[in-house]
Amino acid sequence: MRVAIIATEKLPVPPVRGGAIQIFVDAVARRLGKDNDISVCSVSDPALMSGGEDSLGVHYHYFDNTDYLSELTDHVAKAGYDIIHVCNRPAWVEPLAAAAPESRFVLSVHNEMFAPGKISEGIGRRCIDRVARITTVSNYIGETIVSRFPAAKAKVMTLYSGVDLAAYHPPWTPRGQSLRAELREDLNLIGKKVILSIGRLSKVKGAHLLLQALPTVLEKHPDAVLVFVGSKWFGDNTVSNYVKHLYQLAAVFKDNILFTGFVPPNNIQGLFAMADIFVCSSQWQEPLARVHFEAMAAGLPIITTNRGGNPEVIQPGGNGVVIDKYDDPAEFARQINVLLDRANDRERLGRKGRELAEARFGWQQVAAKLERVYAETCALEQNHREGDQ
């Protein structure tokens, strides 16, 4: 199959500046490129070389983000792709399809892109009519599409994101233990109980609630340290008003809080290895934060909020805890304290998470499912052509 995977205009692929969509595109392209003719279309970036073919056979085409859609349209009009896979931009399907009428289209949706404020009724309907399949990062996102456009139901399927299992090392493995010791020494965390939060430092991610929960945690566990990995935006360590507010809240707990700033995706894995608990404090209707898959792969127990798609990959009492009172610092403190009190439970939850990651969320499994979507899309086209004869 000759396939183009079109990333959004926000961040580049490979994901040198992070981004869940960019990580997804990079991971599946590298695995599908072994047996298929895969091209990735992305915005250019100073950190990346010009386009070409990498060692795994993936072709990269880079375009300027000031005229990205126009350049993409020109490209697909000439390239002759069997399948064009558009990521998270349903409004782009119509102009791209007009430029490449013989191509079949797959759309993957990572956010609430079919909401009334995001896309009009007409454009949304024409997009759904034109695509062969719509994959979504969670059941929650699928439901947001079908609730507004019931005709999409037969085309929508959930395709969860994934993780590079070999890059994450649970604490019961020799490599996990050595990474844990090394990073704890580097960050002055030896002998501490580490609570890890990874994500953008924005109000919708709820970091302020964890800071408000910390005094109650420290009453029982004075050796606890809350580690925030991330910045206000991918690759941008500028201090926004919200980040400044977090720093002010943290000032009185300077021995129990650590802000790392932005960390490139390839350097994240070790930070999971040094932690005891992973907490996702999202306050918005999160599509499904990919950090859940990373925490599972790292063998960490997870505390997350009952928002959007986050609960879909958590088995309460299995691999983590889901907080219904998602905006209550006291509830975060209670659940953190319970896990810090119980080392055996932390390990049990962490082992279950790793087991789930290995069974369902490795990139190889995700890529195989996507390849089946492409194959079904090609089969639909063949059947359609035979029916016209």
Helices 207-220 and 329-341 meet at what angle, rounded to 10? 50
Q: Are 137 and 109 in contact (CB under 8 A)?
A: yes
3-state secondary structure of 264: coil
What per-residue confidence (pLDDT) applies to 52? 66
Q: Which two tokens stand for residue 48?
A: 């990346």
Selection from 7, 6, 19, 13 nearest residue 264 by Cα: 19
Q: Give CA–CA dist 374/376, Å, rounded.
A: 5
Q: Give CA–CA dist 59/63, Å, rounded.
A: 13
pLDDT tens sequence across 225-264:
999 998 876 666 788 899 999 999 999 998 999 999 888 8
pLDDT tens sequence across 211-222:
999 999 999 999
What per-residue confidence (pLDDT) applies to 55? 62
Q: Which residues contact 4 (CB under 8 A, 6 or more apart)?
A: 39, 40, 41, 76, 79, 81, 83, 84, 85
Q: Which two tokens stand for residue 53?
A: 């073919």
Q: Is the dihedral of CA 155, 378, 131, 42 positive or negative?
A: positive
Q: Which two tokens stand for residue 170?
A: 């649970």
Q: Which two tokens stand for residue 130?
A: 């034109």
What per-residue confidence (pLDDT) applies to 232? 77
Q: Are 124 and 156 in contact (CB under 8 A)?
A: no
Kindly state the helix (H) or strand (E) to which residue 261 belongs, with its residue range.
none
Q: Are 59 and 25 in contact (CB under 8 A)?
A: no
- Could you please report the per-residue DSSP string of 137-198? SSHHHHHHHHHH-GGGTTTEEE----B-GGG---TTSHHHHHHHHHHHHHTT-TT-EEEEEE
Rg (C-alpha) for the chain, rounded Å, is 22
Residues of the chain falling short of pLDDT 50: 385-389
Specify the pTM: 0.91
Q: Give CA–CA dist 374/169, Å, rounded.
A: 32
Query: Domains in the chain, ordered, with CATH?
Result: 2-162+363-388 (3.40.50.2000), 165-361 (3.40.50.2000)
Q: CA separation (Å) from 89 to 69, 123, 160, 192? A: 10, 11, 18, 44
Q: Which two tokens stand for residue 204?
A: 């919708």
What per-residue confidence (pLDDT) applies to 212? 97
Q: Which residues contact 259 (CB under 8 A, 6 or more apart)?
A: 228, 246, 247, 250
What per-residue confidence (pLDDT) applies to 386? 46
